[in-house]
Structure 1
Amino acid sequence: MNELIATFIFFFAVIDPIGSVPVFISVTNNYNEKDKRKIAFKAVFISAIILLFFILIGELILDAIDIPLSAFQIAGGIVLFLFALTMIFGESKPESEIKSIKNTTETAIFPLAIPSIASPGAMLAVVLLTKNSIYSVWEQFQSSIVLLGVLSIVLVLLLLATKVHKLIGNGGASIISRIMGLILSSVAIANIIDGIKESFNLI
């Protein structure tokens, strides 16, 4: 149970559901409520497909190009750490992604599905948490369910975006995003340490 809670916190931190609310509000500002719901469902569905793809195929791709998981774990940890630093010290997720909004008909895909929900950090995270050498098929299935649970939270928040944004405001979303960044940075360092131990047989 503790491992599932830790996985949930990790996915929640890297996906940052609350941080997607201001982005969603900005890109759907000119849409009616029916279209907003369609965009929310489409964005979450596309994100789920992308992240589940990385769970199923990510490690196979690494094996095909002969990259050891320990190296990927170290590299992934470094990338996650840098990603977390941008959440803490740089522009928060809502601020940076709202600036990336341009005229586009595919608002559900960009910037909502990618990079707001299925961010590069999230793609790396799902691979690290479903390594075949460490996790059984059942454990990987459980992680997938937890991932879908976090994405369900994203969907609910997007459907309630207007109410949530009125409650926390851009400032609240920014604060939460930075807290998530701090949690994510700790997890990233742990992954780097584990990768180094595995590389040098220190476990």
Structure 2
Amino acid sequence: MDRLVSDFLMFVATIDPVGTLALFVGLTAGLAPAQRNRVAFLAIAYSAAILVAFIGVGQVLLGSLGIRLEAFQLAGGIIFFLFGVQMVFGVGAGATGAAPEPGHDVAVFPLAVPSIASPGSILAAVVLTDNRQFSLLDQAMTTGLLLAALALTLVFLLLANRIYAWIGDAGATLMVKVLGLILAALAVEMILGAGSDLLLEMHPPPG
């Protein structure tokens, strides 16, 4: 149960629904409600397809490169920690200040990529479903948690204007910082666990 909660929080923190909400409000300010909802549904659909694809492709890539799970977890933990620090002291991990070019579908860029299906959430999808550590049932449950985090993000987007009017800029900033702190703490746990496993592998106990 603890791992499920931890995995869900990892996905929520890396997807960053609050940071995505702020971006969504700015990008869809001139659209009718029906158009905003369509953009929200498409952004989540594109993101789900990308992240679920990386769950499969990422395993093949790691296996072909011969990268040890512990090394990948250690690198991932460091990156997650940096994302968390950025969220606490700067902008959200998933947010982007890039403006879409005219004629581009904002549901694809910058909402799906790189905001929702961000480098952090892609990395989380790969790390938390590694074939060498988790059974197919575990991976299926983790995929379900990913989809649950995306569903939560969809709710945020569908209610974006109401939520943003209620919490305002200050509330959104505070929530992003709290998510960043949670992500940094989870990252430290990942770093300590991977580092301990690597030390045991390099220096096994006698006997």
Q: TM-score, normalised by structure 1?
A: 0.92
RMSD of equivalent CA atoms = 1.7
Q: Distance between the aligned counterparts of 2:68 and 2:35, measured in 1?
A: 44
- After superposition, residues 154-165 of structure 1 pair within 5 angstroms as 154-165=153-164
Distance 1:83 1:169 in 2: 23
The CA distance in 1 between the partners of 2:194 and 2:57, in whole Å, is: 20
The worse-fitting range, judged by mean Cα deviation, of 178-187 and 125-134 is: 125-134
Cα distance in 2 for partners of 1:192, 1:132 equals 19
Conserved 8 A contact 2:100-2:109: no
User: Larger C-alpha radius of gyration, 1 or 2?
Assistant: 2
Q: Spell out, residue by residue over 1:95-149, the C-alpha distance to the aligned partner (whole angstroms, 9 max, x if none).
A: x52x322444221111111121111111111111111222111011001111101
**Superposition pairs of residues 68-107 of structure 1, within 5 angstroms:** 68-92=68-92, 97=96, 99-104=97-102, 105-107=104-106
8 A contact 2:16–2:92 mirrored in 1: no
- The reply to whether residue 46 of structure 1 matches residue 46 of structure 2 is yes
Following TM superposition, by how much is the alpha carbon of 1:171 offset from its aligned partner in structure 2, in angstroms? Answer: 1.5
Cα distance between partner residues in 1 of 2:67 and 2:4: 28
TM-score, length of structure 2 as denominator length: 0.90
Cα offsets for 1:58-104 (capped at 9, x unmatched): 1210111222121111111111111111101123458x52x322444
For 1:70-149, list aligned pairs within 5 A: 70-92=70-92, 97=96, 99-104=97-102, 105-149=104-148
Structure 2 residue runs of 5 or longer lacking an equivalent are: none
Shift of 1:24: 0.4
- Tell me how far 1:6 sits from its aligned partner: 2.1
Unpaired segments of 5 or more residues in structure 1?
Answer: none
Distance 2:28 2:101 in 1: 11
Write the distance in 1 (CA, Å) between the matches of 2:92 and 2:3: 28
